Structure 1
């Protein structure tokens, strides 16, 4: 599946969570990289929600956290046909359904010179 979406500023909470050792160890073991402590937030059109929700519900990639933290499902993905990473689906989130959170090894805004309002593509 390939979707286009708009880059937007998140809530700034992902940096804390992606710095937790149990998450970083699991991502490194399963994806081959330690994610930059932050996500690229992408708002996608509502037309994709049914398919995305189906993927999320059927996703077997799950990180079970330490006590007090939420589980995270993830699926490997590619940003703009160049950056390999993953889309994460945190069990505990305050984002609307049409927000996708992409993780990668690098700081994506700097690497691709992205700013709010830019259109990116995600393939997963």
Structure 2
């Protein structure tokens, strides 16, 4: 936790290659799910981006799932270690600081779209 800034800044070029976003905000928004209780990226439908640790000489595999939040392209972002845990937490990355851009505060409810219609609009 609280280390997204380090990794997104350090590997900005690599994330640009994988996401197509000109620049990612060097931080994330953590979203706790109401339902379903746990969400596994690898068992979800639609597009998934996997960055093998050997691809850029990293220590961990990164898994990203395109999504939309506030009608903005974003990615659910986690390591393969995080994918193995039963987690109700989504870590979202995008090209802006969502808290500032949309006035998000702790405890606010937001909608994260990850269904097939989102896949079509991202591909």
User: Comparing both structures, which one devotes a greater share of its residues to strand?
Assistant: 1
Match of 1:121 among 99, 106, 111: 111
Partner of 1:27: 15
**In 2, Cα distance between equivalents of 1:31 and 1:115:** 26
**In 1, Cα distance between equivalents of 2:48 and 2:73:** 19
2:58 matched to 1:63? no
**In 1, Cα distance between equivalents of 2:17 and 2:87:** 28
Q: What's the CA shift for 1:75? A: 1.0
Provide the aligned length of Structure 1 versus Structure 2. Answer: 107
Q: Give the TM-score, by structure 2 length.
A: 0.73
Structure 2 portions without partners, runs of 5+: 115-123
2:99 matched to 1:109? yes
Structure 1 portions without partners, runs of 5+: 1-10
**In 1, Cα distance between equivalents of 2:5 and 2:81:** 15
Once the two structures are superposed, the pairs formed by residues 29-108 of structure 1 within 5 Å of their partners are 29-33=17-21, 34-49=23-38, 52-53=39-40, 55-57=41-43, 60-65=48-53, 66-67=56-57, 69-80=59-70, 82-93=71-82, 97-108=87-98
Q: Give the TM-score, by structure 1 length.
A: 0.72
Contact kept in structure 1, 2:37 and 2:87, CA below 8 Å: no
